[in-house]
Structure 1
């Protein structure tokens, strides 16, 4: 487990399938996320049971609120290679009652700190849809900076959106 000020990050397993399934089928939660084809609860449970264990190249952690122990989201560092020292980060909070209360910011700081200190990463990268202003505010608060723009690569509601690529170097973490 990895502790932040508001959150605890911990490995996910089949017991977390119901929450993950519910989040992935909530249009408001998935608004700016790459979503996949609909899956059954059993498929999600199977995916969590069969996915390889956490390792340097693929780390998936549940985000729990310290205040009440509720599973509220997930974070992932993936595509990491020790030779490059760079990983890509994904995060989302599926429990909307926890939005706007500092949990996402703390989860970001906590996973980045873990990446830099424990995994010895040099850089963490991510992409965010240009219209996802709330997420971008969180990323900038933690220290991420815009590094580029991918034009018209995300489609939602019949419209194409751009995405920002953002990066954070170890010494930039706030």
Structure 2
């Protein structure tokens, strides 16, 4: 487990399915996420139970608030290949009561430090919707820089198209 002052990153458990289902059903939480078709609680439980072990190629961890011992989000590094040393990061906080209080920033720092120090990555990249300024602010605070723009690559639930921003962080740039 990776522990900071606010959060602990830990493996997901089948008992986390109820939180994941609730978050995936909340339009505020999913506003800027690429979501597939809706899943039932039973389907999410099954995915949690049958999920593969974390590996170099895919590390998926729950974000737990230390003060409550409660799951508040999910973070993962995926697509890592030892020959290349790059991975893609995704994160979301599902508990809206924890937004804007530093939990996401600390989770990002912990996961990026793990990627660089333990996995020996050279580059961690992520995609973010251009209009999601609160997320972009967190990413910049951690040290990510904007690399490029994928025009109208995200379709919001309102049907409107939004640009996606590619951001990256190199080993040694984590702040």
| Equivalent residue, structure 2, for 1:14 | 14
| Equivalent residue, structure 2, for 1:128 | 128
Query: Counterparts in 2 of 1:1-174, with a 5 A limit?
Result: 1-156=1-156, 157-174=158-175
Give the C-alpha shift of residue 5 in structure 1: 2.1
TM-score by length of 2: 0.98
Give CA deviations for 1:1-56 in whole Å, capped at 9, x if unaligned.
11122110000021100000110110000000001111110100101111211000
In structure 1, stretches of 5+ residues that fail to align are: none
In structure 2, stretches of 5+ residues that fail to align are: none
The list of structure 1 runs, each at least 4 consecutive aligned residues, that deviate by more than 6 angstroms after superposition, is: none
SS of 1:29's equivalent in the other structure is helix
Distance 1:146 1:169 in 2: 12
Report the aligned-residue RMSD. Answer: 0.6
How many residues align? The count is 174
